[in-house]
Structure 1
């Protein structure tokens, strides 16, 4: 067993946390290291005021960063001790992570850790390559281990409903200038040196619609940005929805941890995810999904899982910007 010093382990965890997925790649987190403890805080200046007024997506993003740091600490040879929302007087402090006993990471943890910087979000259709049922079952177990539920949508009728609601929400949001301006704020023009947001080359200029169609965000609204060459990838992949029993702040954080566990495991097996949160950003549609499709559980993320041969880099803010 190789155990690094406490400082090395904490530094590695913070560095890893930067690579978590976040809505529009906003990276809405900051980290503070005090002694042998990391504090994870929400960067509310990066909250989406229109799209995410409740802060749900922000906390899911931060929950993903928390799972990433837990994984990194185990790979460094320590058991992480986590407290969620430890101080009611400091609502922006989402979690603390302390170093526990020295431990030897198992093979599964090493596999997850190896995907932290390799995992990528996809923003188009997938290649016509099937996702094995056994892998989907493992992803369901991964989500369950973090206190959430991942449901693969096997019914064609239910997939059609999710696609139709995504299309409807996208259509409504496209007509709302506030939504458009907020999305554009996080869209990076070609050649931009920004270390956050969605690069112009990370989505196709003319995406081929899936069947049924799950539309992506209009990051290139009125600009014509986007990459060429991915139009032929149009398979829908496996549609899946992440839910929780409740809808509190700690359950949003749990959903983020479950999401990242799923994504890292999928990435290790050559599978990527495309996210579709439009319908979940409209209260009426989200409530409809909760009551009609998910037996009262709260939908936290709609995604498609599939194989893509696209492997573009995604920028990350340097440590100097996220470490307090």
Structure 2
């Protein structure tokens, strides 16, 4: 490569890393770091941002990083390069989750451009939804997006099954609220109003006094008795939205990364059509409850995410660390 080509490739890779930083992550921990060496991006897990109490196996961390990997792939395609991805390329370096190189020239298709445009617009929702229905063709499209990454998104149609998911989420939240180390961990990632921090959950990102959905899906208690939160929830109804479960056939580190890639494609496609997602991971953080769901509701597949999808008019702003904090260049 000549000097000009090297500069162009470096710019492409930095742009792809910038896109990656907008991926969703548990408690907005942003548990990733990136290295750029020549024409290669290295995606690494940042163990300092791992939830020791809530995610000891690192499952949610790897799902978060998988979502970031999807953003890298989309950005490279939009910039005209087919991404060449190796997942878990070195068994002796467990923190190295993937490497990505720009490959052959490619013209991004319409769906790739659609998803890429939503990377910075997508927001996590932590309240109820409007009563506006979610069109069935859109749900089918979301299922297809997950399937393309080797995961399964299952909309839960059965009212009894929805009640089970609701009850088990509330039960897990109640149990976790009594667990001091876990509660302190959640509080540690909650940001007070006006905080300059670019990670964690801002006070404006959850309702001050949430309205209960029917059936109710418990949310995290980020405020923990403090008068934090937004009043935006009062403009929404108590609609639960469409309840869905993301599953994988296996439960290895590679499956967790694949689940994250599938999740992000679902979220970006949803965002493009005005849908937001609320996540409920409490029950999945307790082995026996997760195993119960696998056996009783998930056809023996491993549940990786429980979510609700619905229409909101949420215009909140996301917070992300700058690229300079997560990128090491050689």
Superposition TM-score tier, normalisation by shorter sequence: over 0.9
The superposition leaves residues 55-90 of structure 1 with CA deviations (integer Å, 9 ceiling, x where unpaired) of 000000000000010000000000000000000110
Instruction: Give the CA deviation at 1:311.
Output: 1.4
Q: Is the 8 A contact 1:63 1:255 kept in 2?
A: yes
Name the counterpart of 1:30: 33
Moved over 3 A (4+): none
Name the counterpart of 1:270: 274
CA distance in 2, matches of 1:229, 1:257: 30
Q: 1:108 aligns with which of 90, 96, 111?
A: 111
Runs of 5+ unmatched residues, structure 2: none
Name the counterpart of 1:80: 83
Instruction: Give the root-mean-square deviation of aligned CA atoms.
Output: 1.1
Name the counterpart of 1:135: 138
Q: Is the 8 A contact 1:148 1:242 kept in 2?
A: yes
Aligned length: 322
Provide the secondary structure at the position in 2 that maps to 1:5: helix
CA distance in 2, matches of 1:104, 1:239: 35
CA distance in 2, matches of 1:309, 1:108: 23
Instruction: Give the CA deviation at 1:232.
Output: 4.1
CA distance in 1, matches of 2:8, 2:194: 40
The superposition leaves residues 137-156 of structure 1 with CA deviations (integer Å, 9 ceiling, x where unpaired) of 00000000001000000000
Runs of 5+ unmatched residues, structure 1: none
> What TM-score do you get using the length of structure 1 for normalisation?
0.98
Name the counterpart of 1:91: 94
Instruction: Give the CA deviation at 1:274.
Output: 0.3
Name the counterpart of 1:224: 227
Q: 1:238 aligns with which of 238, 242, 260?
A: 242
Q: Is the 8 A contact 1:208 1:232 kept in 2?
A: no
Q: Superposed, which structure 2 residues align to 1:2-21 within 5 Å?
A: 5-21=8-24
CA distance in 1, matches of 2:96, 2:219: 32
Provide the secondary structure at the position in 1 that maps to 2:232: coil
Instruction: Give the CA deviation at 1:12.
Output: 1.0
Name the counterpart of 2:263: 259
CA distance in 2, matches of 1:221, 1:154: 33
Q: Superposed, which structure 2 residues align to 1:33-182 within 5 Å?
A: 33-182=36-185
The superposition leaves residues 33-67 of structure 1 with CA deviations (integer Å, 9 ceiling, x where unpaired) of 01110000000000000000000000000000000
Provide the secondary structure at the position in 2 that maps to 1:83: strand
Higher mean C-alpha displacement, 4-13 vs 169-178: 4-13
Instruction: Give the CA deviation at 1:11.
Output: 1.4
